[in-house]
């Protein structure tokens, strides 16, 4: 665990909150604490020592916070928002023993700004969520204490993070199956669709099930304290037949179930799992609070992740987009730093396209498997990397996550457009993620143009879940921009690994254009261009 750090007291703040943090530095240390908004200082406090530090109220937005003392520089970020569910930085918890360390889970939610936590496999049974009393074993034998579940939900709520109880939307164990077999989803030969040998699948829109399932969710919200629910499916079947010969279109059934859950739980945060993008086209516009997609082959490349996100953006109502992209690479590679680099490129792809990734959870774990109990313990290097990148995500939220942002690469870059582009002396620039190149994208939003430069030089492929080599520097780049006004534009760069604060880059005027020399990125660099 990192002992010297800045630790926000909440994962997310409202405009009415007093923004505050714990300054965890050695006794006797004093330094300067500065709050930045898009690289510009908005608050500076001197002679700050260890302990709790209130910053007062801040206007909505993302902020970077930097602490400097002799030989010491620490950074964090805070989000201030009037719409806490407008973003989803999703985490998880997957163990609920009576002696659970609740503090460790809450501390990580604060440090990584995780504002939604999925409570994976907390329930007694899939079709009987609360039937086990106060202490029981889940269907796979994991010990559960409802007192621990309640304690976690209460503690997370206090730090601005919603607790979402896991609930499978169409699964029943063998003990409960006699109640539901009439609504079974069956194959062409009459076999019941199942998960392993312990769950059978049924039509999620069958009226008796809808009534039962909605009641179970309402009880769990009331008796456990959940702020919402993670509504899970398994990606199959797409269509099936019930025992009475009725054909079920699962896409339509899932939408009906989401609508029923929303009707019964109008204030709950609902997140439905679109497994391998099925059926995002139908559910993204349903009354839920995020577009969540669990990716599997054939979505194996960084480019395929980008395409999944872009399709979701085209179908959503403005909700946040989350990828469940399990980084199996941590368990398949002995080189954890190469796994960190793979995860960084996954995150760079997601963040630059306006999505987040379900990755971190518990006190120190990373997801490497769809069964969340099988997870990976993050080492100190990984924890520091995650903190840097989640800070970057929060600090530059308005450059990354605003639903109004659009991709304008094809309209601005290239010789025909000639509005803005970059060139490297010895490294190609590509429109798609290509090994050996810098992947260049340009977006436009309320905060100006943002160019994303993702460095794939030195990589042999563009897979997202394979060990990545130490990046080879592409060198400095020359950026050329056609200015539109009489004055000079403002051009600034930031990199989560090298220089996370937006830093001004000198410009050279060349008629209607300006040019600038950009520092080399490590893995991902953003360039913001604004004009008055």
pLDDT tens string 238-283:
999 999 999 999 999 999 999 999 999 999 999 999 999 999 999 9
- For residue 410, being part of any structural domain is answered with no
Residue 174 pLDDT > 70: yes
Residue 367 pLDDT > 50: yes
- For residue 47, being part of any structural domain is answered with yes
Average pLDDT over residues 298-316: 98
- For residue 11, being part of any structural domain is answered with yes
Residue 87 pLDDT > 70: yes
527 closest CA partner among 185, 516, 125:
516
Tokens 């926000």 correspond to 8
Mean pLDDT rounded to a whole number for the chain:
97
pLDDT at 2: 52
Residue 95 pLDDT > 70: yes
| 3-class DSSP state of 149 | helix
- For residue 129, being part of any structural domain is answered with no
Residue 74 pLDDT > 70: yes
Which range (3-7, 240-244, 385-389, 524-528) has the least confidence? 3-7
Q: Which residues pair with 509 in a beta bridge?
A: 514
- Residue 511 contacts by C-beta under 8 Å, 6 or more apart in sequence? none
| Number of structural domains the chain divides into | 1
* Confidence at 371, pLDDT banded by 50, 70, 90: very high
pLDDT at 1: 43
Average pLDDT over residues 98-102: 94
pLDDT at 333: 84
- For residue 40, being part of any structural domain is answered with yes
Residue 39: give its domain's CATH number: 2.60.40.10
Please tell me the distance from the alpha carbon of residue 435 to that of residue 303, in angstroms, as a whole number: 11
What's the domain range around 38? 5-80
- For residue 22, being part of any structural domain is answered with yes
Please tell me the distance from the alpha carbon of residue 472 to that of residue 523, in angstroms, as a whole number: 9
In the chain, % of residues over pLDDT 70? 100
- For residue 70, being part of any structural domain is answered with yes
Tokens 């993070």 correspond to 161
pTM beyond 0.95: the answer is yes
- For residue 9, being part of any structural domain is answered with yes
Q: What is the DSSP letter of 521?
A: P
Please tell me the distance from the alpha carbon of residue 61 to that of residue 118, in angstroms, as a whole number: 25
Please tell me the distance from the alpha carbon of residue 270 to that of residue 497, in angstroms, as a whole number: 34
* Confidence at 463, pLDDT banded by 50, 70, 90: very high
Residue 78 pLDDT > 50: yes
In the chain, % of residues over pLDDT 90? 97
């Amino acid at each position: 665990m990192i002992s010297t750090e800045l630790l926000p007291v909440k994962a997310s703040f409202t405009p009415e909150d007093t923004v505050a943090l714990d300054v965890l530095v050695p006794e006797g240390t004093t330094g300067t604490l500065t709050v930045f908004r898009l690289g510009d200082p908005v608050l500076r406090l001197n002679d700050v020592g260890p302990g709790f530090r209130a910053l007062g109220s801040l206007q909505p937005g993302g902020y970077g916070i930097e602490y400097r003392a002799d030989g010491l520089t620490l950074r964090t970020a805070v989000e201030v928002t009037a719409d806490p569910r407008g973003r989803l930085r999703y985490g998880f918890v997957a163990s609920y023993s009576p002696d659970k360390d609740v503090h460790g889970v809450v501390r990580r939610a604060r440090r990584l700004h995780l504002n939604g936590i999925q409570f994976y496999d907390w329930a007694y049974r899939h079709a009987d969520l609360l039937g086990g009393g106060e202490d029981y074993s889940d269907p796979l034998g994991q010990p559960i204490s409802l007192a621990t579940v309640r304690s976690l939900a209460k503690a997370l709520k206090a730090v601005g993070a919603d607790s979402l109880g896991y609930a499978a939307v169409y699964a029943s164990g063998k003990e409960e199956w006699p109640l539901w077999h009439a609504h079974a989803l069956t194959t062409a030969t009459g076999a019941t669709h199942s998960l392993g040998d312990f769950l059978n699948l049924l039509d999620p829109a069958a009226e008796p099930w809808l009534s039962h399932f909605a009641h179970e969710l309402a009880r769990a919200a009331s008796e456990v304290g959940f702020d919402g629910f993670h509504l899970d499916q398994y990606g199959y079947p797409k269509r099936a037949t019930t025992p009475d010969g009725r054909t079920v279109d699962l896409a339509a059934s899932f939408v009906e179930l989401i609508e029923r859950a929303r009707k019964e739980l109008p204030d709950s945060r609902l997140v439905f799992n679109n497994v391998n993008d099925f059926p995002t086209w139908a559910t993204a516009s349903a009354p839920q609070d995020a577009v969540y997609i669990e990716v599997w082959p054939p979505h194996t490349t960084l480019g395929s992740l980008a395409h999944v996100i872009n399709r979701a953006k085209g179908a959503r109502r403005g909700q946040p987009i989350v990828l469940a992209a399990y980084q199996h690479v941590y368990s398949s590679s002995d080189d954890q730093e190469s796994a960190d680099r793979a995860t960084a490129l996954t995150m760079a792809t997601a963040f630059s396209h306006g999505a987040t990734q379900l990755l971190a959870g518990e006190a120190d774990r990373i997801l490497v498997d769809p069964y969340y109990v099988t997870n990976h313990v993050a080492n100190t290097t990984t924890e520091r990397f995650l903190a840097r990148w989640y800070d970057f995500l929060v600090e530059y939220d308005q450059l990354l996550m605003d639903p109004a942002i659009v991709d304008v690469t094809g309209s601005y870059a290239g010789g025909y457009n000639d509005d803005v582009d970059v060139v490297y002396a010895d490294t190609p620039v590509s429109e798609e993620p290509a090994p050996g190149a810098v992947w260049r994208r340009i977006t436009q939003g309320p905060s100006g143009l943002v160019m994303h430069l993702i460095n794939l030089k030195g990589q042999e492929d563009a897979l997202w879940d394979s060990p990545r080599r130490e990046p080879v520097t592409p060198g400095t780049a020359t950026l050329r921009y056609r200015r539109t006004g009489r004055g000079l534009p403002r051009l600034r760069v930031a990199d989560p690994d090298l220089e996370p604060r937006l830093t001004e880059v000198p410009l050279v005027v060349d008629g209607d254009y300006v040019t600038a020399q950009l520092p080399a990125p490590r893995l991902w660099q953003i360039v913001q261009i604004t004009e008055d």
